[in-house]
């Protein structure tokens, strides 16, 4: 489904309350936003290039898996981050090489699994620690558009954690429409950041990375993690745990039906589910 020639980007701070729960609000104190609900920044989690600067070289390692999470060697405070990822075509101006448009074609359940590193200089340093450090469902759902009223508006994001056979809700079941920035507003904001975000404080210069990757025509963009349950906020992943991120049509399925499927670890074909075992 995914070739390795896309750029992987994430949106930080696009769901009210998540950064505070994740202990990351302080990272963005110096980042100026136009409103309280505006996302804070975008960050890279994968760049298909062998020409990266030494400090960003780790981003060239392909991190995505459909079924496993590789536990990091040098950290133990690892959290699931339940999100929707957009699979997008990227358009550029042929003269300036600036990004002119993002055209989302599909969406899927995504786990922006993150190491809680209070002393990290950049957001991306918490995001890619090698192969199998991220996850996207193998089931992609085609978008009929990304305008208000499109099919993605009916979807919810649920998240579960399983340890020793015990299933616990890890993220608060949230409608996709509750993202702070969504639809064209979100796309326009991301395009602006791809072109103009500076290499400053927790942020990377995305325009430089696009150039080093020879202007990839595809992007996978995770658009923000939902809020945690009390359990999710306080409990970190261990080897042997199972993470489940589920993106489902809330008009077709009830939350209790999704819980039942999560218990069985078997989901209907029209649900984008990402089930990863921590190894």
* Whether pLDDT at 25 is above 80: no
CATH of the domain at 129: 3.90.850
Does 265 map to a domain? no
Task: Note the pLDDT of residue 74.
Answer: 81
Residues 6+ apart with CB under 8 A from 1: 138, 140
CA 66 from centre of chain: 14
The reply to whether 167 falls in a domain is no
- pLDDT of 111 reads 98
The answer as to whether 162 is a domain residue is no
Return the pLDDT at 273.
98
Other Cβ atoms closer than 10 A to 161: 24
* Residue at 262 is within a domain: no
Q: Provide the whole-model pTM.
A: 0.95
Give the domain range for residue 228.
7-155+176-237
By percentage, how much of the chain surpasses pLDDT 90?
Answer: 86
Q: Cα–Cα distance between 250 and 30 in angstroms, integer?
A: 38
Distances from the Cα of 82 to the Cαs of 31, 74, 156, 205, 209, in angstroms?
24, 23, 11, 25, 25
Least confident of 60-69, 115-124, 163-172, 188-197: 115-124
Mean pLDDT in residue range 150-178: 97
pLDDT greater than 70 at residue 17: no
- Predicted confidence (pLDDT) at residue 16 exceeds the cutoff of 90: no
pLDDT in the model for residue 278: 98
pLDDT grade for 20, boundaries at 50, 70 and 90: confident
Total count of domains within the chain: 1
Percentage of the residues of the chain whose pLDDT score is greater than 70: 95
Q: Is the pLDDT of residue 171 over 70?
A: yes
Give pLDDT tens digits for 212-240: 999 999 999 999 999 999 999 999 999 99
Q: Could you give the 3-state DSSP secondary structure of residue 146?
A: coil
Residue 256 has pLDDT above 70, yes or no: yes
Least confident range from 8-17, 136-145, 203-212: namely 8-17
Mean pLDDT of 159-180: 97
pLDDT of residue 66: 97
- The helix or strand, by DSSP H or E, that contains position 48, with its residue range, turns out to be none
Query: What mean pLDDT do residues 1-16 have?
Result: 89
Mean pLDDT, all residues of the chain: 94
Assigned domain for 251 exists: no
Task: Quote the pLDDT of residue 75.
Answer: 80
195: confidence class by pLDDT, cuts 50, 70, 90? very high
Q: What is the pLDDT of residue 19?
A: 65
Condensed to tens digits (0 to 9), the pLDDT of residues 80-135 reads 999 999 999 999 999 999 999 999 999 999 999 999 877 788 999 999 999 999 99
Which of the four pLDDT bands, split at 50, 70 and 90, describes residue 36? confident
How many Cβ atoms sit within 10 Å of the Cβ of residue 205? 16
Residue 24: is its pLDDT beyond 80?
Answer: no
In a domain, residue 221? The reply is yes
- Domain membership of residue 268 (yes or no) is no
- In this structure, the number of other CB atoms found within 10 A of the CB of residue 72 comes to 14
In a domain, 121, yes or no: yes
């Amino acid at each position: 489904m995914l070739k390795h020639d896309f750029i992987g980007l994430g949106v930080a701070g696009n769901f009210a309350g998540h950064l505070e729960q994740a202990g990351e609000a302080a990272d963005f104190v110096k980042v100026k936003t136009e409103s309280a609900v505006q996302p804070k920044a975008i960050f890279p989690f994968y760049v298909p290039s062998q020409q990266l600067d030494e400090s960003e070289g780790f981003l060239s390692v392909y991190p995505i898996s459909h079924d496993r999470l590789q536990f990091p060697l040098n950290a133990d405070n690892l959290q699931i981050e339940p999100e929707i990822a957009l699979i997008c075509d990227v358009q550029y101006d042929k003269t300036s090489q600036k990004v002119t448009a993002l055209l989302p074609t599909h969406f899927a359940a995504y786990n922006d699994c993150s190491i809680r590193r209070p002393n990290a200089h950049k957001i991306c340093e918490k995001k890619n620690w090698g192969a199998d450090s991220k996850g996207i469902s193998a089931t992609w759902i085609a978008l009929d558009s990304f305008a208000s009223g499109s099919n993605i508006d009916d979807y919810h994001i649920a998240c579960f954690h399983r340890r020793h056979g015990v299933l616990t809700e890890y993220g608060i079941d949230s409608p996709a429409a509750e993202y702070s920035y969504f639809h064209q507003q979100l796309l326009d904001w991301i395009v602006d950041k791809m072109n103009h975000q500076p290499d400053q404080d927790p942020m990377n210069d995305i325009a430089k990375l696009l150039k080093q990757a020879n202007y990839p025509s595809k992007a996978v963009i995770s658009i923000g993690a939902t809020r945690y349950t009390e359990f999710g906020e306080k409990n970190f992943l261990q080897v042997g745990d199972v993470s489940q991120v589920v993106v489902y049509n809330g008009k077709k399925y009830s939350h209790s039906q999704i819980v039942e499927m999560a218990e069985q670890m078997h989901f209907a074909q029209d649900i984008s589910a990402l089930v990863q075992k921590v190894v």
